[in-house]
Chain A
Amino acid sequence: EVQLVQSGGGLVQPGGSLRLSCAASGFSVSSNHMNWVRQTPDKGLEWVAIIYSGGSTVYADPAKGRFIISRDTSKNTLFLQINSLRAEDTAVYYCASGNGLYRFDSWGQGTLLTVSS
């Protein structure tokens, strides 16, 4: 059974850094394209970044420069590092993957990141 279990998140001060994790089971993170998607009441669902099965990465414009998507194949885990956190990064973050590019068959349970002083 395919499962994505997220950890990380919480309350962080502006300017800080945080790493979100997404542990996969039932498949290999290196054989699938892995994504991060976030959700806010204002902007709805917003794609953040992808790491292709081949290892290359692409970011949404708001994520360029401060977000880093990566994976650890030995732990079968996906990560999202966010630096220089801003209030507008406050969201529920989901990891997601599936069959085909940008088709999200499987989702993590979501983790809330709140950026506030």
Chain B
Amino acid sequence: DIQMTQSPSSLSASVGDRVTITCRASQSISSYLHWYQQTLGKAPKLLIYDATSLQSGVPSRFSGNESGTDFTLTISSLQLGDFATYYCQQSYKTPPTFGGGTKVELK
């Protein structure tokens, strides 16, 4: 199975901060990488698909980038509703696999 490694596992930030989360795949996954946001007690929500494409309805402060097997999710200016846990997921090969998550907390 393809392993997805996220870092950091948690971070503390303030409203207005720029936040970057990294996800590394254990092998090449082309651009088949998606990012999700999950708040407590809710289902994950798709933010970014195919590494860089913004899902409809998602604010433009969210962006994705890729470099080889390294992928990043950036929140340009953190808002109150952005304090959540973020997951990456590869869809390149069966089984699809998720990263361990990055919890973004209020400093």
Measured CB to CB, the residues of A under 8 A from B are: 44-47, 58, 60-61, 94, 96, 98, 100-105, 107-110
**Cβ contact within 8 Å between A45 and B89:** yes
Contacts of B87 in A (CB 8 A): 44-45
Point out the residue from B49, B50, B98 that lies within 8 Å of A45, measured CB to CB. Answer: B98
Q: Contacts of B50 on A, CB cut-off 8 Å?
A: 103
Interface SS of A by simple majority:
loop
Question: Interface size bucket, B side?
Answer: 20 to 34
Q: Once the chains bind, are A103 and B94 in contact (CB under 8 Å)?
A: no
CA distance A74 to B36 in the complex (A): 31
- A47-B95, A60-B95, A100-B91 as given contacts; A105 in contact with B46, CB under 8 Å: yes
Q: Do the beta carbons of A94 and B101 come within 8 Å of each other?
A: no
Q: A45-B87, A102-B91, A103-B34 are in contact. Are A110 and B97 (CB under 8 A)?
A: no
